[in-house]
């Protein structure tokens, strides 16, 4: 059976910088700011994540509001995972989309009203596949 771990979590906030300061202060999380994507990331132990702006969606995914914590599930084959989602009553919200130099993601809705995400890394040079 394929391995599908939780690999990333996004926490929405009207003010992602304030949210990152709150969580860093409470839990002593180490934060990094990705300038390219204006993305405030954390990584301390388990799956990492980021604080994202609430509001209108776009090419990087559907709109979020407070409470819409988004979980990214790792997969080796996004298309096959989306096909399984649809075969079990879910639907594709955003098809496989590239994050330049990083990997690919897709969003799906489960039959219960939750929007989740899939993610796969881009092969790295020296990792057994050409860059």
Q: What are phi and psi of 79, to 5 degrees?
A: -60, -45
Is 75-131 in the same CATH topology as 1-56? yes
Instruction: Please check whether residue 18 is in contact with residue 53, taking contact to mean a CB–CB distance below 8 angstroms.
Output: no
Q: How far is CA 32 from CA 43, 48, 49, in A?
A: 9, 11, 10
The CATH code that applies to domain 1-56 is 3.10.180.10
For 47-92, the three-class secondary structure string (H helix, E strand, C coil) is CEEEEEECECCECCECCECCCCCEEEEECCCHHHHHHHHHHCCCEE
Given the candidates 3.20.20.80, 3.10.180.10, 1.10.3720.10, 3.40.50.1360, the CATH classification of the domain at 75-131 is 3.10.180.10
According to DSSP, the residues that pair with 108 across neighbouring strands are: 92, 116
Beta pairing partners, 32: 41
pLDDT at 38 (0 to 100): 74
**Ordered per-residue pLDDT tens for the chain, 131 residues:** 468 999 999 998 888 889 999 998 888 888 998 877 678 898 877 888 998 888 866 666 778 888 889 999 999 999 999 999 999 999 999 999 999 989 999 999 999 889 999 999 998 766 554 44
pLDDT value of residue 95: 97
Q: What is the pLDDT of residue 131?
A: 41
Q: What residues does each domain of the chain span?
A: 1-56, 75-131
pLDDT at position 129, please?
47
Q: What is the pLDDT of residue 104?
A: 97
H or E stretch covering 16: helix 16-27
């Amino acid at each position: 059976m394929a391995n599908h771990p939780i690999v990333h979590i996004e926490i929405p906030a009207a003010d992602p910088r304030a949210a990152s300061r709150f969580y860093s202060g409470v839990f002593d999380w180490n934060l990094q700011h990705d300038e390219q994507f204006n993305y405030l990331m954390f990584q301390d132990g388990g799956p990492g994540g980021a604080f994202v702006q609430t509001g209108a969606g776009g090419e990087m995914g559907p709109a979020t509001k407070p409470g819409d914590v988004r979980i990214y599930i790792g997969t080796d084959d996004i298309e096959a995972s989306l096909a399984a989602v649809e075969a079990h009553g879910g639907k594709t919200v955003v098809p496989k989309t590239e994050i330049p130099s990083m990997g690919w993601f897709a969003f799906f809705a489960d039959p219960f009203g939750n929007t989740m995400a899939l993610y796969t890394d881009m092969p790295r040079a020296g990792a057994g596949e050409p860059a």
